[in-house]
Amino acid sequence: MESSELKRSKDSVNSCESARRSSFPDEVLERVLSLLKSHRDRSSVSLVCKDWYNAERWSRTHVFIGNCYSVSPEIVARRFPRIRSVTLKGKPRFSDFNLVPENWGADIHAWLVVFAAKYPFLEELRLKRMAISDESLEFLAVSFPNFKALSLLSCDGFSTNGLAAIATHCKNLTELDIQENGIDDIGGSWLSCFPESFTTLEVLNFANLTSDINFDMLEKLVGRCKSMRVLKLNRSVSLEQLQRLLVNAPQLAELGTGLFSQELTIREYEELESALSNCKNMHTLSGLWDATGMYLPALYLACTHLTFLNLSYAALQSVELAKLLAHCPQLKRLWVLDSVEDKGLEAVGLNCPLLEELRVFPADPFDNEIVHGVTEAGFVAVSFGCPRLHYVLYFCRQMTNAAVATIVQNCPDFTHFRLCIMNPGQPDYLTNEPMDEAFGAVVKTCTKLQRLSVSGLLTDLTFEYIGRYAKNLETLSVAFAGRSDWGMQCVLGGCPKLRKLEIRDCPFGNAALLSGLEKYESMRSLWMSACNVTMNGCRLLAREMPRLNVEARGGMPHHLSLLSEMLGTRQTENY
């Protein structure tokens, strides 16, 4: 497209029409726009003029709905007639931590009914934090003959029977990805429901399930699906069985092992090692449940090209991790448990110069007994060794302002900074001061910051900093922090790109809530629980902002909070 025509198009509808007549037909515009994948770009395109709006809606094949209550399925179907792939997110993120009551909603079924009527050629469905029943899964399986990919992340309401329905009916299935769901695992033979003739599976992830599966069926399935590139097993699969699978699937790019602990003979060990090293395409490795130092060396040869290593289910010690990392020079993403301690993180800094993402989970999060795990020292060590680090999730029991300042100085490119000091409201353990300056340093230095989770003892100053400096911040999580309404007001008054704000156990009240009225229109969601907001405040909000979904709950199942609210912004224009 020439820039002059572009400019003309933006001026007005009329000029747009004349440009259209004189320059290129709809089909060309649609063809060009079909190359646009980002849904944000597409939203922008659709706002240019009516013709572009139409061209965009006819060319769109994938729709992303970040809040299922922001729009109805009928409206979606009317606007986008040619959708083949849908991504839907439902419950507030805090539902992952049991802060949202059961049966809250976000049920997929109404959507499926509309899709069955309007999108009979639907191929992909990716759900996050939605409720989906076995009946819905069965309905899905029989309603869409072209259905190819199902991904369920953090969903609930279904059992392995639902999976059986999918396996039975979806003849063209390429992807079945079941992750971290509240699944009712009643075992059964869902895996055996894949027909003998079925060969198209490329992605199979059932790491979530705890029950045993029929290994023979799995082996046969993997054997005949020659295009399989992602295979993530559950704990019930042993090392010996893993070896048998790998022999038939050396093409795997992503592997999630089963239990990585078994008594093996020397020969079995060598066979395993050989099978693993034959996976020349392997770039992602996970699972490794209960892995101990004994069998980790079997992985060494397979780790040469590894870019993502997920050790968050293996409580390794620092030495074991260090030895393993020496074989992972290409690593970009690493997830570990804090059992590796600071020494383990030093090894990360030494061995992984290309590291971009680090997540350190607590092995023993509810243990108040002894101080162990990782400290600020580990984080600092990584920051010195890994200048490309831009994504961190870090659970620790102590932190200092100075350490964080050093970290962001070493790694100024943070886009996601999620720090969880596990003792709520804990100050800088050396100076006893609040952690305000730590997060101040983060937002001042990391100009690209998109996501921030704060913790520790924080006054309103932290939020002043955030509001003033975090110009690109989209997601903010706050817990046990702040002193007054002013804190939240600063965030709502600043942060021009804020989309998701989740707050728990903070002293923010109605004044703060109501200060963000204009802001909420451009946000996806707001969560507040155990704060000072009252029912009247919510009513006022709802009255002032009729287009918002406002939900206020007068009690929480775990007898904690006064009110919890979720605001979904209902927008027809922006997806």
Q: Rule CB under 8 A: which of 289-328 touch other proteins?
A: 289-290, 312-313, 315
Could you say which of 417, 463, 469, 480 contacts other proteins (CB under 8 A)?
Answer: 480
Cβ nearer to other proteins, comparing 69 with 215: 69
Contact between residue 421 and residue 456 where contact means Cβ atoms under 8 Å apart: yes
| CA 212, chain centre distance (Å) | 27
Pick from 423, 444, 468, 511: which binds other proteins (CB under 8 A)? 423
Is residue 263 at the binding interface for other proteins, with CB under 8 A as the rule? no
CA angle 452, 456, 457 (to 5 degrees): 120
Q: Of the two residues 27 and 180, which places its CB atom closer to other proteins in the complex?
A: 180
For residue 89, give the 3-state DSSP assignment. strand
Which is closer to other proteins, CB of 312 or CB of 410? 312
The 361-380 site mask, x for binding other proteins (CB under 8 A), equals xxxxxx-xx-----------
What is the separation of C-alpha 176 from the centre of its chain, rounded to a whole number of angstroms? 17
Beta-carbon count within 10 A of 503 CB: 26
Q: Of 22-30, 54-62, 239-247, 504-512, which part binds other proteins (CB under 8 A)?
A: 504-512
Which is it for the CA torsion 160, 130, 87, 451, positive or negative? negative
- Is 507 near other proteins (CB under 8 A)? yes
CB of 234 to other proteins, least distance (A): 11
Stretch that binds other proteins, among 139-147, 380-388, 406-414, 426-434 (CB under 8 A): 426-434
Q: What crossing angle do the helices spanning 376-385 and 341-351 adopt, rounded to 10°?
A: 10
- What are the Cα distances from residue 536, in Å, to 397, 545, 552? 38, 14, 10
Residue 421 structure tokens? 């000091």
Give the containing element (helix H, strand E) for 7: helix 3-11
**Can you tell me which of 66, 258, 427, 467 binds other proteins, judged by CB under 8 A?**
427
Residue of 8, 39, 468, 570 interacting with other proteins (CB under 8 A) = 570
Strand partners, 149: 124, 175
Residue 17 CA to residue 50 CA, distance in Å, equals: 9
Site string for other proteins, 188-227 (x = CB under 8 A): --------------------x-------------------
Q: Which two tokens stand for residue 49?
A: 């003029």
Total number of residues that touch other proteins (CB under 8 A) = 90
Kindly write out the interface string for residues 121-150 of this chain, putting x where it contacts other proteins by CB under 8 A and - elsewhere: ----------x-------------------
Distance of CA 30 to the CA centre of its chain: 31
- Least Cα distance to 284 among 354, 230, 338 occurs for 230
∠ CA(547), CA(549), CA(554), 5° rounding? 140
Q: 202 or 502: whose CB is closer to other proteins?
A: 502
Residues from 392 through 421 that contact other proteins (CB under 8 A)? 395, 420
Least distance (Å) from other proteins to the CB of residue 553? 4
Residue 156 belongs to what H/E stretch?
strand 156-159
Footprint (CB under 8 A) of other proteins, residues 483-502: 483-484
Q: Identify residues 550-569 at the interface with other proteins (CB under 8 A).
A: 550-563, 568
